[in-house]
Amino acid sequence: MVKLFWLSYIFAFAVDNLVSLRIFLAFEILQNFILLLMVLLPAASVNEAAKAARDVVISLPSWYPNNYRPLKLHIRRHFMQELSLTLWKIYRIDKPLVISALGSLLSYGILVGTLGAIQST
Work out whether the CA dihedral 61, 62, 67, 68 comes out positive or negative: positive
> Does pLDDT of 31 surpass 90?
yes
Confidence of residue 40 (pLDDT cuts 50, 70, 90): very high
Closest to 4 measured CA to CA, from 38, 51, 53: 38
pLDDT exceeds 70 at position 14? yes
40 neighbors 98 (Cβ within 8 angstroms)? yes
Q: Give me the long-range contacts of 32-36 (CB less than 8 A, separation at least 24).
A: 32/3, 32/4, 32/7, 33/4, 36/1, 36/4, 36/98, 36/101
Write down the pLDDT at residue 8: 84
Let me know the angle formed at the C-alpha of 40 by 75 and 79, rounded to the nearest 5 degrees. Answer: 5
Q: What digits encode the pLDDT tens for the residues 101-113?
A: 888 888 887 888 7
Supply the mean pLDDT for the chain. 86
